[in-house]
Amino acid sequence: MKIAIYPGTFDPITKGHIDIIKRSIKLFDSVIVAVACNFEKSPLFTKEERVELIKGALKGIKNVSVDHFEGLLVDYAKKTKAIAVIRGLRAVTDFEYEFQMALMNRRLFNRLITVFLMPNEKYTYLDSSIIREIAFFGGDVSSFVPENVSKALKQKIKEIS
Q: Where are the beta strands (DSSP E) in the chain?
A: 3-8, 30-36, 64-69, 84-88, 113-117
Q: Quick check: is 42 catalytic?
A: no
Asked if 114 contacts 106 with a C-beta cutoff of 8 angstroms, the reply is yes
Strands 84-88 and 113-117: parallel
According to DSSP, the residues that pair with 65 across neighbouring strands are 32
Q: Which of 15, 17, 50, 68 is catalytic?
A: 17
Q: Which of 15, 24, 50, 128 is catalytic?
A: 128
Give the CA-trace dihedral at 6, 7, 13, 14, to 10 degrees. Answer: -60
Q: Nearest-CA neighbor of 35 among 1, 2, 76, 75?
A: 76
Asked if 117 contacts 125 with a C-beta cutoff of 8 angstroms, the reply is no
Q: Which of 41, 59, 79, 111 is catalytic?
A: 41
Q: Quick check: is 68 catalytic?
A: no
Q: Which of 22, 23, 78, 90 is catalytic?
A: 90
Q: Quick check: is 90 catalytic?
A: yes
Which residues are known to be catalytic? 17, 41, 90, 128
